[in-house]
Every structure is written in C-alpha cells, then in structure tokens.
Amino acid sequence: MEFGVVMGSHYNANDILAASKVAEENELDYFFVTDHYMTPVSNSTVDAWVILSAVAAITRRIKIGTCVTPIPFRPPAQLAKIVATVDQVSEGRAILGVGSGWHEPEFSAYASWDEDGRIRARKTREALNLILALWDKENKNAVDFKGEYYTSKDAVLEPKPVQEPYVPLWFGTRGDYMLKVAARMAQGWLPGVPGVPLEGYRQVISKLRDEEKRIGRNDHVKVACNGAISELTSNLLNQYEKEGCEIALLVRSKENEVEGEIRRFAKEVVASYKRN
C-alpha cells in the first residue's frame, strides 16, 4: 500500500508548503490539495495549482495533485496549460484530480453554474477530451476542437507534460455516469473528503471494477481510501485493502498541527502497516 496526505486549500500557503516538505521527508508517496476558491468551511483559500507549483519547486520525489479539481470551473484549454506547467516544474510528478463540481457559490462567483449535475458531468468528459488532445505528444499540429460546450481553434500547447503518455487523471466521483467515464479514462480514484464508509466504498469500487471488466480494460484504476489518524487503524486498512484499496490518505488534519500529524501518521499508521 502507498500513503499520502490531503490538505485543504483553505489552509495558509506557508503551512501547505511546510507540510509538503514534511510529507516528503517522511517518505509519503502523495501530497494532494483540495481545489476550491470558496467552501462551506472558509472563503479564504489559495489557488491549488499555484501552490502545487510552489510545492513542486521545494520537493523532489513526492507525487502532487488535486483532490479534486472541478473541471468545468476553468476553461479546459487553460487548465491543460496550467497542469502541464506544474508537471514540467515537478519533473513529471503531477496528478490531475477530476471532479464535476458541487459547490454552487464558488461557480456563481468565479465561473458559471449548471444546476443539472448531468450537464456538469458531460462538460467534464468533453473538457477532458480537449485536455488530452492538447497533451497528445503524437499530434504535431494545432488542435481544433468543437464540442457541445467547448471550442478551441488552432491551439498549440508546448511544452507538453513530462509524463507519458500524459498527466494521470484521478477521478473523485461516486456517480454512475462519472464512474463509467473513470473506468475508461482514469488512472486513479480518490474518495471525497472526509471519506466513504466501508459499505459505500465496497459498492463504488464494485461498480468501477464491473465497468472495467465490461469494457475489457486490461489494467485497472488505482483506488484510495482516506481518514484521520484515529480512523486509519491497521484493522480498518486491512478491510479497505480487501476491497481493493491501494493508497491510504491522511485527511482532516488540525490546523496548526499538520506537520506533527503527518509525522504521527508516518510513525503510527505507515510504519505499523509495513510491520504487519
């Protein structure tokens, strides 16, 4: 099993940067930041991709990404460029977390909200098609894209992402439609914060695996679970592992105690799991 941490974008920028260094020093595998401009918790936030670029510059090994980016929130061609740049800065460690968005106030303030979740889901899939076209290293021509929701004319995205064939897509979704999209496009799956109880987790992963089998996918989507230190006991991790979990993520760290909690997580959870 691999291990990582998720921090909220409402945390202080310096605290996020310091936490990323502690996560790397303690040999965690992943460092994720939630991607919101406004939240029910706080409307004081950092831009996730800007802070991840800074994280990329001060770390060397740990993989970094969003948990998750609401894809319809930004113009997809612009998002493709932003993520490609973070992948360049990190020398191939970026992960694009994929969601369709859920918090109406931030969309109304900064983008455009579609009340119908089916439209947000369709926008997400179409946006990903454009993003992948722009990241395609085999295509030496400018990209012309005309979809139902997005268009792009003579778009050139250079340099491309470092990773082959492109920056991994990790979906954070439980809806049937988006799980079907994930089975086709995702490299990873992230539970929402604060997490998915075991029974609900079992149902989601079963749907994902059934869809992978139905479409004849040869590899599989890597799936994660999450929780606070008190929840990620060896017994519970073993239960999640039986359902296919391959990554455990620390969430809900207390502000002003994040660095200490990451060290505790590495000592009490990661080390205990590895001993067993």
DSSP-derived secondary structure for 39-104 = -SS-S----HHHHHHHHHHH-SS-EEEES-EEGGGS-HHHHHHHHHHHHHHTTS-EEEEEE----H
Residue 137: what are its φ and ψ, rounded to 5°? -75, -15
Structure tokens at 156: 């050139």
Give the rounded percent of residues in the chain with a pLDDT score beyond 70.
Answer: 100
Total domains in the fold of the chain: 1
Segment holding 22, helix H or strand E: helix 13-25
Structure tokens at 219: 């590899």
> How confident is residue 192, by pLDDT bands cut at 50, 70 and 90?
confident
> Taking residues 89-118, what's their average pLDDT?
97
Write the DSSP string, 179-231: HHHHHHH-SEE-PPSS---HHHHHHHHHHHHHHHHHHT-SS--EEEEEE-TTT
Closest listed residue to residue 82, CA positions, set 47, 109, 58: 47
Structural domain containing residue 40 = 2-275
pLDDT for res 216: 97
Q: Strands 222-227 and 188-189, how do they pair?
A: parallel
CATH number at residue 162: 3.20.20.30
Coil, strand, or helix at residue 146? strand
The pTM assigned to this predicted structure is 0.96
| pLDDT tops 90 at residue 273 | no
Q: Strands 143-146 and 151-155, how do they pair?
A: antiparallel
| pLDDT tops 90 at residue 158 | yes
Alpha-carbon span 101 to 108, nearest angstrom: 12
The conformation of residue 255, written as its DSSP 8-state character, comes to T
Coil, strand, or helix at residue 268? helix
